[in-house]
Amino acid sequence: MPSLKFLRNRITSVKSTQKITKAMKMVAAAKLRKAQQNAENAKPYSEKLNSIILNLKNSVNDIDSAPKLLVGNQKEETHLCVVLSSDRGLCGGFNTNICRKAKIFFEKVIGQNKKLKIIVVGSKANDQLRRKYSQYIVDKISLKDEKVISFAKAQEITDKILNLFTRNEFDTCTLFFNKFKSIILQIPQAQQLIPVSINEKLDQENKSNNQYEYEPEENEILENLLPKNIATQIYTAFLENQASEQGSRMAAMDNATRNAGELIGKLTINYNRTRQAVITKELIEIISGAESL
């Protein structure tokens, strides 16, 4: 049976942990509102940009003269995967879910005897992926100095991707991140950046809209627009990730706070029972000593 001192120290320790988790939950809730608003504000711009590119793609007649970022290299031998994660833990299964989605894709590529290259963004993805896929990781990007993810960071990653594509070091590029749905639901996503993938729903909506005439030619517009689209999609993924991270952390800290409360209740009952047993034992010893006299 544990001593009273041990139980008192344990209760004090759990109460301190409960205060920390409760404070982290409140901080995550405050950050979630702003992160969710930023993600919502970015969606219309990202969707409209995709719609314009899709419209331009449908207008291109000669595939051979189309920009490589739009149609790719017409082969899928080398895959570049960009995995977005965080540099902080204590956010439930946020990072694990992204890495699990990425690992399924990695195994599929390796199983088809194709080449795999990985860019990890955030230390948590690097920690989980380097154990098995260290030979495939070509670049690591840290977010420790980034209090708020800016568009410049997305542009930095875009430049790295475009430099690799210019040197013909990969054929397709896929982005992995979490899409925010609610506090308790974040959906891991695999979005193809190069070549541009067509969303069937968006394609149908686009065909129902009026077609436009462009000046200058479609290919010239696409040459300037496609790199901006990649940066925009990566930045939008960052915003979705931030909202998902705070939502997952809020849920995790809420569960931890409630679990700490339940543990404190159990320890308190155990403490009272132990204290009662000690008092009873002392009374028995006093009564036994008095009777022996």
Do 61 and 205 lie in a common domain? Answer: yes
Average pLDDT, the chain: 86
Quote the number of domains for the chain: 2
- Amino acid symbol at 235: Y
Helix (H) or strand (E) holding 174: strand 172-182
Do 71 and 173 lie in a common domain? Answer: yes
Do 138 and 9 lie in a common domain? Answer: no
> 214, 232, 249: which is the final residue of a domain?
249
CA dist., res. 100 & res. 89, Å (int) = 16
Do 183 and 276 lie in a common domain? Answer: no
CATH number at residue 182: 3.40.1380.10
Q: What pLDDT, in 10s, does the model give residues 3-49?
A: 888 989 999 999 999 999 999 999 999 999 999 899 888 888 888 88
Of the candidates 81, 91, 99, 173, the residue annotated as catalytic is 91
For residue 179, give its domain range: 34-249
First to last CA, the chain: 31
CATH number at residue 10: 1.10.287.80
Identify whether 235 is part of a domain: yes
Identify whether 29 is part of a domain: no
Q: How confident is the model at residue 216 (pLDDT cuts 50, 70, 90)?
A: low
User: Is 91 an annotated catalytic residue?
Assistant: yes
Q: What pLDDT, in 10s, does the model give residues 98-126?
A: 999 999 999 999 999 999 999 999 899 99
